[in-house]
Amino acid sequence: MESIKDKVAIVGMGCTRFGELWDRSAEDMIVEAAEEALADAGIGIQDIQAAWAGTMFDYTGATIAKPLKLQYIPVTRVENACGTGIEAIRAAAFAVAAGVYDRVLVVTYEKMKDYGFPGLPNDVERLPRRHPVFEVGYTAAGNYALAATRYFRQYGLSNEEGKLTLAKISVKSHYNGARNPRAHLRREVTLEQVVNAPMIAWPLGLFDCCGVTDGAAAAVLCRAEDARSFRDDYVTIKGLGVSVGPGQGYVRTDYDYTHWGETEHAARQAYEMAGIKDPRKELDVAEVHDCFSISELIACESLGFCPKGQAKEDIDAGTFTQEGELPVNISGGLKSFGHPIGASGCRETYEVYKQIQGKAEEPSRQLKNVQQGLIHNQGGLPGKFMCCVLIIGAP
């Protein structure tokens, strides 16, 4: 097995504003994101040789072929629950690395608000057709709450300490999101507001949960050796890891719910490929899958940003804030952007791509001297995750 490090470049990206886009169809969003990405790469739709669609709820590649009027080229739909965004980039990257295409397009999107989703769906694998709900149908919040309850207990946090630690994560994400014009929720919140918010799934309250949003994001990929013909400030794929768990949390009683095993495996693959030994030092920015505040906390540990059980200290110390040692979710995260499932991974990549180029839209959010960053995208539920870790950087 070889590595694809520095073999595939991202030369264009696009991202819609995220939000409750009642007046925009999935096709509107697809076209907007793709057009921005193509314009960013300086090419036209006719230059694209193959495409990948990332969506959880829509069917087939035709969903993007139709609005973009792609002319009989290959279009594949990739789906891996909440990890769909990065999976689509990954499938495209392998095809480019295999040498069979020179210029490919990835479009990821989700139209959540056309149906009456009051929150993220429960067990996504049973949705939409897998099974009658004759058994447990916890909400996603309910599933992640299991991890929060267990984490507090394992590391001796009282419910109040635990809630406050999680609240700090949400306060930070809201702060960042308030500085991002494409975010859905652009409002700072206080610790008191977070702690006292209505309960969703104890111990997770309203502000511990990400929003439900429409959005789309797109990317243009090419071979690294051709990248300079598009632009000077292209970025390359440094590391790529995916891990899918065998559902151990559902059968094995030694699965402890306080670390994400799939994230550890995926991160290991990505770090190995990128040659990263100390992620906390070597990464300049990280976008982490924070569908819930507890998701970000545990992900930071499982990605090796801090030792297990010690995220609280780093959160208290501000390690993951904009001024901190390793800014996490500088975009505002899923917390501020919401989570149009298929689009999130690609949207996170968009932020890291812009940070590396020094082009974060709102200057107050731009970090200094970003060389490489990590994107973490996680699907499924605690106990049976799939996880994607993508590392991109300046060539």
Which span sits near other proteins by CB under 8 A: 300-308, 318-326, 364-372, 381-389?
381-389
In angstroms, what CA-CA distances link 264 with 242, 304, 358?
10, 8, 29
| Residue 316 region by backbone torsions, left for phi larger than 0, else alpha for psi between -120 and 50, else beta | alpha
Nearest CA-CA partner of 86 in 377, 379, 395, 363: 377
Minimum CB–partner distance for residue 393 and other proteins (Å): 18
> What x/- string results for residues 29 through 58 when contact with other proteins is judged by CB under 8 A?
--------------------xx-----x-x
Among 178, 220, 221, 242, binds other proteins (CB under 8 A): 242
Cα–Cα distance for residue pair 71/378, rounded to 1 Å: 33
Judge whether 68 and 46 are in contact, CB under 8 Å.
Answer: no
Residue 255 CB, shortest distance to other proteins, in Å, is: 8
Piece of the chain touching other proteins by CB under 8 A; list 170-178, 295-303, 312-320, 384-392: 384-392
Burial of residue 176, with CB atoms counted within 10 A of its CB: 0-12 exposed, 13-18 middle, 19 or more buried: buried
Question: How far apart are the C-alpha atoms of 125 and 121, rounded to whole Å?
Answer: 10
Instruction: By CB under 8 A, tell whether 4 contacts other proteins.
Output: yes
CA–CA separation, 295 and 289 (whole Å) = 7
- Is 339 in the active site? yes
Between residue 272 and residue 291, which ones bind other proteins under the rule CB under 8 A?
A: none
**130 belongs to the binding site for other proteins (CB under 8 A):** yes
Residue 149 engages other proteins in binding (rule: CB under 8 A)? yes
* Closest approach of other proteins to the CB of residue 209, in Å: 10
Q: How far is the CB of 156 from other proteins (least distance, A)?
A: 13
Report phi then psi at 99, rounded to 5: 90, 0
Identify any residues that bridge with 219 across adjacent strands, giving them in sequence order. 13, 106
- Of 179, 146, 155, 152, nearest to 164 by C-alpha is 152
Residue 388 known to be catalytic: no
Per CB under 8 A, 137 contacts other proteins: yes
Q: Name the catalytic one among 259, 289, 339, 376.
A: 339
Strand partners, 328: 286
Cα separation of 241 and 270, whole Å?
A: 5
Q: Which is nearer to other proteins, 246 or 318 (CB)?
A: 246
Of 38, 33, 39, the closest CA to residue 53 belongs to 33
**Contact set for other proteins, span 245-274 (CB under 8 A):** 245-248, 250-253, 255, 257, 261-262, 265-266, 269
Q: Can you say how many angstroms the Cα of residue 117 is from the centroid of all Cα atoms in its chain?
A: 20
Work out whether 26 is an interface residue with other proteins (CB under 8 A).
yes
Regarding 117 and contact with other proteins (CB under 8 A), the answer is yes
Tell me how far, at minimum, the Cβ of 370 lies from other proteins, in Å. 26
142 binds other proteins (CB under 8 A): yes
Among 9, 13, 21, 93, binds other proteins (CB under 8 A): 93
CB-CB contact of 79 with 56 (8 Å): yes
In degrees rounded to 5, what are phi and psi of residue 35? Answer: -65, -40
Q: Which of 12, 211, 215, 241 touches other proteins by CB under 8 A?
A: 241
Instruction: Tell me which residues in 58-77 interact with other proteins (CB under 8 A).
Output: 58-63, 65-66, 68-77
* Closer of 14 and 342 to other proteins (Cβ): 342
Identified binder of other proteins from the candidate list 146, 164, 191, 197, rule CB under 8 A? 146
Nearer to other proteins, 263 or 355 (CB): 263
Size of the site for other proteins (CB under 8 A): 112
Cα angle, residue 59 at apex, residues 53 and 60 outer, rounded to 5°? 55
Nearer to other proteins, 150 or 186 (CB): 150
Taking contact as CB under 8 A, which single stretch among the options 163-171, 201-209, 315-323, 352-360 is the one that binds other proteins? 201-209
Q: Could you write out the three-class secondary structure of 280-308?
A: HHHCCEEECCCCEHHHHHHHHHHCCCCCC
Give the active site residues.
82, 339
